[in-house]
Structures are given as C-alpha cells and as structure tokens.
Amino acid sequence: MTTISGHMTGATAPLTGVSAQPTGVMPYSKYWISWGALLGLTMVMLFSETLPLYRTAAVMLLLVAMLVKAGVIAAWFMHLRFERAALVISIVGATVLTAVALFGLIVPDAIATLRQAAQ
C-alpha cells in the first residue's frame, strides 16, 4: 500500500530493503540554512542605512535583497522549487502583474502630492 503522495510508509513498506523514509522528505537542515540566509539578508538590509552609500545604491541594495528573500521563501518554504515550471511561472507572473498594477496606481498619487508640496 502507498500513501496519498505515492510513497511507501514505514508500516506498509515491504522488507526488501526499501527505505522506510519517503524520498520526497527534505531534511530540516535545509530549512535552517535558508532561515539563516534570510536572517543574514535582513541584517544586511537593516544595517544598510549605516553604510556610506549613495541613495540610489542603497535603494538598489534593498531591492535586490528583497527579491532574493522572496525567491528563497518561495523556493524553500512554499516548495516551489519542486513544482513544475508552469505553476512557478503562473505564480511569479501573477505576483509581478499585481506589483506593477499597484505601482501604477500609487505613482500618479505620489507625483500629484510632490507637485502640490512644491507649490
């Protein structure tokens, strides 16, 4: 018998040398490593304010760090690393489309506010 995921369980695995642990199980060490990477990136983002960088370089550093963090979270904690490319593309595409729509809705208001403040 197999489980819903199609892997043999310890109770139903035959005694012919088949591993009792399913092959799709990821060790906790991978999660801890990715959590540590996320913590490190967060620290870099927090301390980037104290670095002697131009404003544009600081913003670019923050944007790149945010994109890397989003990629790590999506790949490891949302398990998109193990999904088919079509599902990953649809999720990433929908996220980018939403971000562009929100940016497009916020920028005109910000421009109007800056023009009003300049007068």
At 5 the pLDDT is 52
At 72 the pLDDT is 86
At 40 the pLDDT is 93
Residue 30 has pLDDT above 80, yes or no: yes
Residue 101 has pLDDT above 60, yes or no: yes
* pLDDT confidence bin for 51, thresholds 50/70/90: confident
At 105 the pLDDT is 93
At 4 the pLDDT is 52
Q: Which of 78, 98, 94 is nearest to 86 (CA)?
A: 94
CA atoms within 13 A on the CB side of 25: 9
* pLDDT confidence bin for 88, thresholds 50/70/90: confident
Between CA 12 and CA 40 the distance in angstroms is: 42
CA-based R_g, the chain, Å: 22
Q: Which of 33, 65, 31 is nearest to 46 (CA)?
A: 65
Residue 15 has pLDDT above 80, yes or no: no
Between CA 112 and CA 116 the distance in angstroms is: 6
Between CA 8 and CA 1 the distance in angstroms is: 7
Is-above-0.85 flag for pTM?
no
